[in-house]
Amino acid sequence: MGLGTVVHVVGARPNFVKMAPVIAALEDRGDVAQRIVHTGQHYDERMSAEMLSDLEFPEPDVFLAVGSGTHGAQTARALEAFEAVLLEEEPDLVCVGGDVNSTLAVALATAKLGIPIAHVESGLRSFDWTMPEEINRVLTDRLSDILFTHSPEAATNLAVEGIDPARVRFVGNTMIDSLRRFEARAEEREPWRPLNLDRGDYVLVTLHRPSNVDAGPQLRRVVDALVGLAGHARVVFPVHPRTTERLRSEGLLSSLLGAGVECLEPLGYLDFLGLQIGAGAIVTDSGGVQEEASALGVPCFTLRPNTERPVTITHGTNTLLGEDPAPIADIRPRELEHREAHIEGWDGHAGQRAADVIAAALGSKRAKALA
């Protein structure tokens, strides 16, 4: 079609949310052919299929089934399988998002074949090299030709790493495009009702980072804090499979259930967004949730020593707790002020701006020239 072919790659839950608006905006333009590859890093019904269906995501053209494994194994499987796709499809550009293992694997395979890469959500830095995502971010940005940023500090971070500013395009936050598109539908579902929760009255919890759940002592501290919180507030916790596995093996799941914490399976996009909308407060270690909570104006407490999303602290509702989960027990969801953040480029039109840049680059062959 027209300007050329873009292969979009998704693999893990947050990237479905980030990439959907770019794909939809290119579809609306109608002058770029699109193919969608799902690496299969996330493969459960709840982690993948339900998310994709809630987001009205187009059916992927290729599914690579790389599945779970160690970082090396998972990345290597995606790298090898995606290289075969590139050799078959010969796209003009590959578009990747975020910072998961699939993102890095795909960027590496693509760069080695000399095909231009556009990276959605470039330039975020936690400066914490112990996080797998930080390694994925830095390397993916280094390999990319068009770097889409969503917050002011991203351009500075990239400049410090010596990346040519001509490659960097501030388009805003595509994750917030998805939020704006679906928030009314999510709210109408009132997902707090079947759980017998009142709006504004509960704390929504998501925790899955290796630093919080993989080591027994930290996981025990987290559970103690949540049990303390559940002593005076309703707590709902959709549990990531990694966390469920760790809670089970440490024998901690029963402590949470015994304290009345509502432990749920991972949720689809609409139910989770709905629960965020209705929450009095959110406790998380996820990157995307810090952003969504800020856009919705819901107070957010992040159990990490750092964040690659400082704009959620300076302009949003996010508070960094550090590594010690104890203060979670003192959160009073009914007493906290809600205030919607207004952040430049978090306006529901970032996907459109990214699509226009991609089309212009394909049109003028600038993507290659930038490589």
Would you please indicate which residues are annotated as catalytic (active-site) residues?
A: 208
Closer to ligand UD1 at the Cβ: 286 or 352?
286
Residues that bind ligand UD1 (CB under 6 A): 12-14, 41-44, 47-48, 68, 74, 99-101, 132-133, 208, 240-242, 245, 286
Least distance (Å) from ligand UD1 to the CB of residue 22? Answer: 19
The backbone torsions φ and ψ at residue 148, rounded to the nearest 5 degrees and listed phi first, read: -85, 120
Least distance (Å) from ligand UD1 to the CB of residue 364? Answer: 33
Closer to ligand UD1 at the Cβ: 207 or 225?
207
Sign (positive/negative) of CA torsion 205, 15, 288, 183? negative
Least distance (Å) from ligand UD1 to the CB of residue 363? Answer: 33
Using a 10 angstrom Cβ sphere, with 0-12 exposed, 13-18 middle and 19 or more buried, the burial of residue 347 is middle
Asked if residue 115 lies in contact with residue 67, where contact means CB atoms within 8 angstroms, the answer is: no
Least distance (Å) from ligand UD1 to the CB of residue 238? Answer: 11
DSSP track, 234-285: EEEEEPPHHHHHHHHHTT-HHHHHHTT-EEE----HHHHHHHHHH-SEEEE-
Closer to ligand UD1 at the Cβ: 64 or 355?
64
Least distance (Å) from ligand UD1 to the CB of residue 242? Answer: 4
Closer to ligand UD1 at the Cβ: 266 or 348?
266
Closer to ligand UD1 at the Cβ: 72 or 194?
72
Tokens of 44: 């459960």
Cite the DSSP H helix spans in the chain.
13-29, 50-54, 71-89, 101-112, 132-143, 152-160, 174-188, 210-213, 216-230, 241-249, 253-258, 269-278, 287-296, 311-314, 350-364, 366-370
